[in-house]
């Protein structure tokens, strides 16, 4: 029997997460937990079954065994994780990895990770917990992507690149090899990163330049 899972978050990212899970065929989706959508309504063919504060009774009522956080914003994903841990410290998270993803030898993938179609994770790289890799992202050898970071569609990391926690590379960013991007840093679409970037900045351009500082939890997705 397939493990029964719940999805946390009914925004734009839940649709592609559902598609990945259905194509994997490893889990049964019980429903969606969302803070806004009408309980009992349908979203992408699945019912919104309740609010996050109702997690403990929902686990019992729906026989929920695990879950995936389907939220695109990195820091919001962390806040939801913290709230789940507060209620159910031993709650299990699973990964949603599209069947077309190519994973090289020696790759490490954490928990709660979502990887969309066409991604390539090359040998001896590590994708840490609760990261999102969008369509066609390419991670070269020996890279490290830290917790709650994300790569948007078409991003390319050269070899031995480090991406800090909560940081986000948006559409089509290229990072040259052996560079480091700090914590909570966002790189704008189409940028070419040729030098290390520190924590807590917004950078973009070709080559990418620091534009301003950014606060922890500051939103970066248009849907937010």
Q: Is 13 annotated in the active site?
A: no
Q: 171-218 pLDDT, tens per residue? A: 999 999 999 999 999 999 999 999 999 999 999 999 999 999 999 888
Exactly one of 121, 141, 163, 193 is catalytic; which is it?
141
Exposed / middle / buried, residue 205 (Cβ in 10 Å: 0-12, 13-18, 19+):
middle
Q: 50-96 pLDDT, tens per residue? A: 999 999 999 999 999 999 999 999 999 999 999 999 999 999 999 99
Q: What pLDDT does residue 125 have?
A: 98
Q: Is the dihedral of CA 194, 129, 116, 88 positive or negative?
A: negative
Average pLDDT of the chain? 96
pTM of the model: 0.95
């Amino acid at each position: 029997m397939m493990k029964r899972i719940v999805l946390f978050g009914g925004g734009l990212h839940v649709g592609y997460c559902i598609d990945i899970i259905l194509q994997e065929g490893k889990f049964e989706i019980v429903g969606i937990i969302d803070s806004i959508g009408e309980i009992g309504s349908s979203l992408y063919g699945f019912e919104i079954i309740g609010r996050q504060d109702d997690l403990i009774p929902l686990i019992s009522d729906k026989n929920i065994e695990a879950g995936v956080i389907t939220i695109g914003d990195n820091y919001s994903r962390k806040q939801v994780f913290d709230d789940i841990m507060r209620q159910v410290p031993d709650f299990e998270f699973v990964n949603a990895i599209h069947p077309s993803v190519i994973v090289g030898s020696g790759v490490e993938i954490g928990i709660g990770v979502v990887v969309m179609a066409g991604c390539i994770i090359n040998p001896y790289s590590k994708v840490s917990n609760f990261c999102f890799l969008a369509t066609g992202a390419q991670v070269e050898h020996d890279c490290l992507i830290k917790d709650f970071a994300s790569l948007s569609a078409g991003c390319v990391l050269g070899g031995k690149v480090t991406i800090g926690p909560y940081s986000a590379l948006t559409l089509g960013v290229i990072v040259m090899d052996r560079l480091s991007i700090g914590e909570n840093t966002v790189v704008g679409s189409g940028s070419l990163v040729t030098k290390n970037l520190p924590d807590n900045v917004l950078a973009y351009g070709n080559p990418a330049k620091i534009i301003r500082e950014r606060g922890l939890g500051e939103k970066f997705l248009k849907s937010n």
